[in-house]
Structure 1
Amino acid sequence: MENTALQSQLLEQPCLNVTSEIGRLRSVLLHRPGRELENLIPELLEKLLFDDIPYLEMAQQEHDFFANVLKSQNVEVLYLEKLAAEALTDAKVKATFVQQFIEEAAVASESVKVALADYFYSLDTPDMIDKMMAGVRKEELTIYKGESLCDQINNAYPFLCDPMPNLYFTRDPFATIGSGITLNHMRTQTRNRETIFAKLIFEHHPKFKDNVIPFWFNREETTSLEGGDELVLSDKVLAIGISQRTDSASVEKVCRRLFEANSSFKTVLAFHIPSSRAFMHLDTVFTMVDYDKFTIHSAIEQPLTVYEMTKAADSKNGLKIKIEKQDMKLADILEKHLGRKVTLIRCGNGDRIDASREQWNDGANTLAIAPGEVVVYSRNHVTNQILESYGLKLHVIPSSELSRGRGGPRCMSMPLYRDNLEK
């Protein structure tokens, strides 16, 4: 009886709440770039999903500037690495986590697995988390002998455990939708390892473990889903991109679970966008900045293939999803589902050269901290001037190094709590 009452109370006051892209931001998860960036080398850039090598010291300064902007607006800033370390207070949980991490690091040699485990256990927990994220070079393990055939064949490879340089894009491993999350199965092995930190935090951190948190998707799924493709347009409408990184089957799974739970979301819009590096996620081509305004890359203004998913009227034999294919312009789609006239603000002012250049540097990827108030990269000056001309308040952050990872302010942040919008 007491447990039922507790669960009811927790559901009434959720620790997570995101019912829009623009509600006043109250709590956000970041990851300060670490030594993983200094383990990027040219020959591994493609494997590790980078186009260039950021300068760590400057990237950290830029990221600290970003975090301080959020703090100055009374946003609670939480750090992935700190929460993960705080979640490892139980010896059994820590042992399970270390084993899982090593297995998912695709370490083939049994001797290396043992050596890595011993190495991780020799470190304080915060240092262990940092080292897992940074990657382990061969010369760091003095106890590693490399005696097996597997070790000797792979002797030229510089790492025993690969770095995780994409971690500062906290948007992708999971996404907050309503009072629940999608704990994502990411497209590549390089990034899928990132999601074990989120799993650890939500299952074992004191801030979250005793709360009732619905999982709309889980990392054990066989199809891929990434947070950059998930946009909460309102408390009733969710948009998910079918993209280079997200499968259509994943979209349908999320939709079904939201409907089965009788959540506030009544419509899921599946946007079929081009599968390319430049259009990696839905939020690289448009983001919401105000009740009626969006930043967009003009390349998606032509009619889009969008699948509107709602509950079927007749669901006597279990939940059925009604799927309607629509070929509409982006503005028409948004106006239909938001019930208001919308303005699309073109990245680079729609100029062929400026738009292409600034979209590459995530000019359309903004983070709203309140309606009409957004964080943007300084380098996208053409887009920024246009945004200001529409009356938006900008918080401009330096971005010469952070942008080298091909992600903007939205990519670098995972909102945990936003105020609901006034009706």
Structure 2
Amino acid sequence: MSNRVSIFSEIGILEKVIIHSPGFEVEEMTPKTAAQVLYNDILPLPVIAEDHRELKEILKLVTKVYEVRELLRDVLENNAVKNEFIETIIRFFPILKRRREEFHVMTPEELSYGVIVGIKEKKDSLTRFLSENIFSLPPLPNLYFMRDSAIVVGDKVITGSMANKVRIMEAIIATFIYRYHPQFKSEGFILDGTEEGQEALVTVEGGDLLVLKDNVLAIGISERTTSQSIDLIINNLCRGITEPFYVFAVVLPNERATIHLDMVFTMVDKDRCVIHEPYILGNGRLPVVRITLEPNGKKTFDYMDNLIVGLKTVGLDLKPVICGGDNPLYQEREQWLSGTNFFAFEPGKFIGYDCNVKTLESLAKEGYTVKHAREFLSGQSKIEEHKKLVIGIDGAELARGGGGVRCMTMPAKRKPVKW
């Protein structure tokens, strides 16, 4: 087992997490170009940067926090790795062939920065001068949603075969970190979304994958993650198991509010999850298939009544807390603002947006202390003083980007849970 990466649950004590503090790449969006990079609207950088800083400071109180750009810079210090990185970029963006030499003379600091904020087109011909294209390599305003580009499963990694190719650079960055960084090198890849020859139908993003226990995964079938990618994942998982392994495939509607499974379900404690009730338990509950993988390679597929019932069949008995409380109006509003999208840093202690008031009230009724991040950052309160805790961060503007705290974090190592 790798001592560098290890994830066997959603809730184990967090030891390493990768984030990206949003920067100038966000300000490259305009109202006209926002939709091209999967946003509904432009975001004010000073506000989201400050709100994200609050998240980073809270995480630093409980674990080791790494910035993705710094990790990429580290791996690019190796010239052979840097050369491979440049050739991988050119494979996905052939227009950059003519600028290969420029990339080679860039320092690791310059190259790691450039691939994030974008590399502008050179207007060195009439055609390029007349072109409306600003960038040869587009900026990555989605990068602060670190979850999507890769996920650690056990001691191996799945890197995203991104549904929208404007995000493929994010997956390339994650792949190079998990392949080459001495502190994050994994034991291999269950699926590498940047591999040459990857089928067009094989798309997967980390927001759809939840590692619930060492032998239980939940995966959303969504506009971002296909059933074909799940087939590939389970076929690769079968090769390394010595006991039954369970995958729950949840079929999500093709809607903006449900781009990933973690927008309707997250696990926050040994016996608690937060759900969007209409889609998990209500009349509109989503189809769920339990896939049982045997060490001999046999696979069986069974429909479950719902995800909660299905998880109970494999020994994971979770009591759901309803996003938005009992009122359907607030359920819909708070789900839209990532009200189910919590990130646990140990069992029963987790972080979410403070704007989802009704959801926080529901958690308080279940015995969780609800406090704003400022209370801990100021020293007014201490995290270790609380057994069951929800930390709220300012996130109304961050939520407009289309995700929550789980979306913005890429956990790389957790301690095993004592079930």
TM-score (norm 2): 0.88
User: How far apart are the structure 2 equivalents of 1:398 and 1:26?
Assistant: 24
Secondary structure at the aligned position of 2:268 is classed as: strand
Secondary structure at the aligned position of 1:167 is classed as: coil
User: How far apart are the structure 2 equivalents of 1:265 and 1:39?
Assistant: 48
Q: 1:325 aligned to 2:303?
A: yes
| Structure 2 equivalent of residue 71 of structure 1 | 60
| Structure 2 equivalent of residue 124 of structure 1 | 107
Please report how far the alpha carbon of residue 284 of structure 1 lies from its aligned counterpart in structure 2 after TM superposition: 0.5
Q: 1:296 aligned to 2:278?
A: no
Q: Which amino acid in structure 2 is aligned with residue 93 of structure 1?
A: V
User: How far apart are the structure 1 equivalents of 2:261 and 2:135?
Assistant: 33
Q: Which amino acid in structure 2 is aligned with residue 133 of structure 1?
A: I
| Conserved 8 A contact 2:323-2:335 | yes
| Structure 2 equivalent of residue 3 of structure 1 | none
Please report how far the alpha carbon of residue 124 of structure 1 lies from its aligned counterpart in structure 2 after TM superposition: 3.1
Q: 1:93 aligned to 2:81?
A: yes
User: How far apart are the structure 2 equivalents of 1:188 and 1:156?
Assistant: 21
| Conserved 8 A contact 1:30-1:78 | yes
Q: Which amino acid in structure 2 is aligned with residue 189 of structure 1?
A: K
User: How far apart are the structure 2 equivalents of 1:272 and 1:198?
Assistant: 26
Secondary structure at the aligned position of 1:19 is classed as: coil
Q: 1:364 aligned to 2:321?
A: no
Please report how far the alpha carbon of residue 123 of structure 1 lies from its aligned counterpart in structure 2 after TM superposition: 4.0
Secondary structure at the aligned position of 2:325 is classed as: helix
Q: 1:186 aligned to 2:169?
A: no
| Structure 1 equivalent of residue 328 of structure 2 | 352
TM-score (norm 1): 0.87
Secondary structure at the aligned position of 1:18 is classed as: coil
User: How far apart are the structure 1 equivalents of 2:273 and 2:94?
Assistant: 41
Q: How many residues align?
A: 391
User: How far apart are the structure 2 equivalents of 1:366 and 1:417?
Assistant: 17
Any unmatched runs of 5+ in structure 2? 369-388
Secondary structure at the aligned position of 2:143 is classed as: helix
CA separation of 1:336 and 1:320: change in aligned 2, threshold 3 A: closer
CA separation of 1:420 and 1:264: change in aligned 2, threshold 3 A: farther
Q: 1:274 aligned to 2:263?
A: no
| Structure 2 equivalent of residue 396 of structure 1 | 392
Which segment drifts farther, 392-401 or 231-240?
A: 392-401
| Conserved 8 A contact 2:238-2:294 | no
Secondary structure at the aligned position of 1:176 is classed as: strand
Aligned counterparts, 1:118-267, within 5 A: 118-138=101-121, 141=122, 144-147=123-126, 149=127, 151=128, 155-209=131-185, 213-219=187-193, 220=195, 221-222=198-199, 223-262=202-241, 266-267=245-246
Please report how far the alpha carbon of residue 238 of structure 1 lies from its aligned counterpart in structure 2 after TM superposition: 0.8
| Structure 2 equivalent of residue 411 of structure 1 | 407
Percent of residue pairs bearing the same amino acid type? 31
Secondary structure at the aligned position of 1:69 is classed as: helix
Identify the match of residue 41 of structure 2 among 48, 52, 75: 52
| Conserved 8 A contact 2:51-2:395 | yes
| Conserved 8 A contact 1:229-1:282 | yes
Q: 1:114 aligned to 2:98?
A: yes
User: How far apart are the structure 1 equivalents of 2:340 and 2:418?
Assistant: 25
Secondary structure at the aligned position of 1:87 is classed as: helix
CA separation of 1:119 and 1:61: change in aligned 2, threshold 3 A: farther
